[in-house]
């Protein structure tokens, strides 16, 4: 058991129902990475990722597949591409606006990470067709909006996009906050004590709203530990981030809150800046992230193997996870909630 300062144990257990690859490795492109998931009202799953010859290559585009009610994935198709410029880090976000289900796709475009910008396109028919992409923020110069994990719509109706900025000298996490449904955004920093950091900093937050209404963030770091911050005012300000007891290999993490109130986290349980990206594990917290219990190892520790950048969504008694599998395909796992938790 990995403990930060735990006071309450999780009660929910999960059963692995399905393990598959979304597409045949190497059939459509040489490499792929950074998947994202969204579940629609009818139970359809959408998955997107970036793919091409290799990360950062000019031919890298955003690809997507959909899983129908029978559990069959469609063949991948290109969702967004910019000729001669690589695309990065797609984020899918399904939500309801004025009684209509919408799906937003956010993705980065740029020749390098410090100079990428965030574009958004929208679907009103379950991901079958999309609007033309547009810049999320008109004067964006470094990638506003969600960078890896989906926005959180709070109980108060505020949209919080977990974001970060990466330069050669500093990594800084922030939350882009919108109170008008994503029409405009305000940057709110997640602070850190810079003098205590050996590495570049914090990036790629993952968010959930706790049982008491507070907003929680876990963050990737260069310090060998997952960091954490909390907001008491609907994301308008954030506590200085502090290290948890959870190891981090300077790779992406993803968390979500179950209907029971418990929180699931997918991560690589290894400490160290640029440590290996295997194994990959699923952990659960019954006390809003104060303590964690490892539930399931999704992939084993294998030399040189990469199982990374997970995405996780849940609805009812189902949990779905996707992640990079050796940069050759996207792995998919479906789990069933076997016990009703409660906290």
pTM of the model: 0.95
pLDDT, one tens digit for every residue, the chain (343 residues):
333 333 344 678 899 999 999 999 989 999 999 999 999 999 999 999 999 999 999 999 999 999 998 899 999 999 999 999 999 999 999 999 999 999 999 999 999 999 999 999 999 999 999 999 999 999 999 999 999 999 999 999 999 999 999 999 999 999 999 999 999 999 999 999 999 999 999 999 999 999 899 999 999 999 999 999 999 999 999 999 999 999 999 999 999 999 999 999 999 999 999 999 999 999 999 999 999 999 999 999 999 999 999 999 999 999 999 999 999 999 999 999 986 444 3
CA distance 252 to 164: 12
Four-residue CA torsion sign, 1, 224, 148, 7: positive
| Domain 2-337 = CATH 2.120.10.10 | yes
How far apart, in whole angstroms, are the C-alpha atoms of residue 161 and residue 151? 4
Q: What is the pLDDT of residue 10?
A: 60
| Residue 280 to residue 297: CA distance in whole angstroms | 6
Inter-residue contact 112 to 56 (CB < 8 Å): yes
Which DSSP category does 133 fall into? Answer: P
Per the DSSP assignment, residues forming a β-bridge with 124 are none
3-state SS class at 310: strand
Residues 6 or more apart in contact with residue 258 via CB below 8 angstroms = 12, 264, 314, 319, 337, 341
Output b/e per residue, 55-91; b: 16+ Cβ within 10 A.
eeeebbbbbbbbbeeeeebeebeebbbbeeebbbbbb
């Amino acid at each position: 058991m990995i403990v930060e300062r735990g006071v309450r144990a999780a009660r929910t257990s999960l059963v692995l129902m399905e393990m598959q690859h979304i597409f045949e490795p190497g059939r459509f492109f040489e490499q792929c990475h950074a998947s994202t998931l969204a579940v629609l009202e009818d139970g359809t799953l959408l998955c997107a990722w970036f793919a091409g010859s290799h990360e950062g290559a000019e031919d890298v585009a955003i690809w997507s597949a959909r899983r129908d009610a029978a559990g069959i994935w469609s063949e991948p198709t290109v969702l967004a591409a910019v000729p001669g410029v690589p695309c990065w880090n797609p984020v899918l976000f399904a939500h309801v606006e004025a009684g209509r289900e919408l799906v937003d796709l956010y993705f980065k475009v740029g020749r390098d990470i410090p100079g990428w910008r965030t574009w958004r396109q929208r679907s009103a028919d379950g991901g079958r067709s999309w609007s033309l992409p547009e810049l999320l923020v008109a004067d964006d110069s470094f990638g506003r909006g969600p960078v890896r994990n989906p926005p959180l719509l709070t109980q108060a109706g505020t949209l919080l996009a977990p974001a970060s900025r990466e330069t050669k000298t500093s990594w800084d996490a922030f939350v882009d906050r919108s109170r008008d449904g994503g029409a405009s955004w305000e940057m709110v920093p997640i602070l850190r004590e810079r003098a205590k950091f050996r590495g570049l900093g914090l990036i790629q937050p993952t968010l959930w709203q706790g049982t008491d209404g507070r907003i929680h963030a876990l963050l990737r770091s260069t310090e060998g530990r997952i960091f954490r911050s909390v907001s008491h005012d609907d994301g308008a300000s954030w506590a200085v981030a502090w290290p948890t007891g959870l190891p981090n290999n300077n790779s992406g993490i993803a968390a979500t809150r179950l209907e029971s109130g418990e929180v699931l986290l997918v991560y690589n349980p290894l400490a160290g800046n640029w440590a290996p990206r295997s194994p990959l594990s699923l952990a659960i917290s019954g006390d809003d992230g104060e303590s964690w219990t490892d539930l399931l190892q999704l992939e084993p520790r294998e030399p040189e193997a990469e199982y990374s950048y997970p995405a996780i969504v849940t609805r009812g008694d189902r949990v779905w996870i996707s992640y990079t599998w050796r940069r050759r395909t996207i792995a998919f796992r479906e789990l069933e909630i076997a016990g009703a938790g409660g906290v």
